[in-house]
Amino acid sequence: MERTEKILAGNVRVVSTLIRNLEDRVPKAKAAIRNIYPHTGKAHVIGFTGSPGAGKSTLIDTMIAVYRKQGKTVGALLVDPTSPFTGGAVLGDRVRMQRHAGDPDVFVRSLASRGALGGLSKAVGNAIHILDAMGKDIIIVETIGAGQQGVDIINHAHTVIVVQIPGMGDEIQTLKAGILEIADIFMINKADRDGGGKLYQELMHMLNMVENYTGGWRPPIIRAENINDRDAFTKSVEELTDAVDAHYQNLVSKNILEECLLRHVMIELDETLEAAILEPIITELTKSGELDRFVDKILHRELDPNTVAEEIAERYLKGYDREQISQ
């Protein structure tokens, strides 16, 4: 229990070790999550997604400063896409959010999304629980919006910000990939660039076509212009932060926060069931060499995958009725 208390007290060293253990899938890390779980569920989780180069880091860095000025404590998780093949972090080590390094009420951590091919790291959900148990009022999660990660963020965040910049030519693409539906707020960064007006018009046009907004919330479009004019940029981020707060208030007042939390729990339970039920079976079959033998028979068409799966299910599941299931 000592460790739990250290986490609740915000001990950065203990928290960092635990997050690293989660990334490395060290089994005992699971017990730690169990102990802190009763202390979670208080933070407002904000997801940032958008293409690489959209300026998410600078936005987040400034947003942290805005929240700190309001006296709120902040945690941030920066999810780095990892190549599914090489295992190396594509973006490499990032040195960011430096100006908050000395602030004990800000905790920033990079997470490699290894192990989850294209999807959001499983460790992200648990890392959010940890920052939540640390007592952070606001938890910001940054992901790359190029694929599944960008969409997966809705499994963890209460408010999702989709960051876009003009001239990437990917407007329509991004929207097709399902990003439109997950956005609670659109942020056009570097809006003074060529194509900024067109991007704004396109987003407006898309939003105008939506007939019913969930909870009556029409995603606002916030624009930030010159990133080098610090005051003006901060002003835009304040506007963004106000929109984030308004979105959360809307979730609460329209009784849709519950629905959002329910979705998060369902997805987490699904993942946990996979880890508790499927993974041990596959591990055992791998160790005994049986998985290899099954695979070999499938490769040579002596067995088919369904028959193998049912044989395994029959062996491991209590009261398994193959006839009934395979109807």
Q: Closest separation between CB of residue 276 and its own copies, Å?
A: 4
Q: Closest separation between CB of residue 288 and its own copies, Å?
A: 14
Residues 131-150 touching its own copies, rule: CB under 8 A, are 144, 146-148, 150
Q: Closest separation between CB of residue 35 and its own copies, Å?
A: 9
Q: Which residues contact 315 (CB under 8 A, 6 or more apart)?
A: none
Residues 296-315 touching its own copies, rule: CB under 8 A, are 298-299, 301, 304-310, 312-313, 315
**CA angle, residues 106, 107, 110, in degrees to nearest 5:** 140
Strands across the sheet with 185-188, in order?
106-112, 74-80, 138-144, 44-50, 159-164, 185-188, 221-223
Query: Rounded to whole angstroms, how far apart are CA atoms 299 and 321?
Result: 27
Closer residue to its own copies, CB minimum distance, 98 or 306:
306
Residues 85-104 touching its own copies, rule: CB under 8 A, are 85-86, 90-91
Token duo for residue 235: 């002003």
Q: Closest separation between CB of residue 102 and its own copies, Å?
A: 32
The site map against its own copies for 149-168 (x = CB under 8 A) is -xxx--------------xx
Residue type, 303: L
Closer residue to its own copies, CB minimum distance, 5 or 274:
274
Please pick, from the candidates 16, 70, 84, 197, the single residue that binds its own copies as defined by CB under 8 A: 84
| Binding flag, residue 81, its own copies (CB under 8 A) | yes
Q: Give the number of residues in contact with its own copies, rule: CB under 8 A.
A: 81
Closer residue to its own copies, CB minimum distance, 23 or 132:
132
Residues 242-271 touching its own copies, rule: CB under 8 A, are 258, 261-262, 265-266, 268-270
Question: 3-class secondary structure for 85-154?
Answer: CCCCECCCCCCCCHHHCCCCCEEEEEEECCCCCCCCCHHHHHHHHHHHHCCCCEEEEEEECCCHHHHHHH
Closer residue to its own copies, CB minimum distance, 23 or 105:
23
Please pick, from the candidates 37, 200, 217, 248, the single residue that binds its own copies as defined by CB under 8 A: 37
Closer residue to its own copies, CB minimum distance, 58 or 307:
307
DSSP 38: G
Query: Rounded to whole angstroms, how far apart are CA atoms 243 and 220?
Result: 8
Secondary structure class of 176 (helix, strand, coil): helix
Cα four-point dihedral sign 100, 101, 103, 108 = positive
Residues 176-205 touching its own copies, rule: CB under 8 A, are 176-178, 181-182
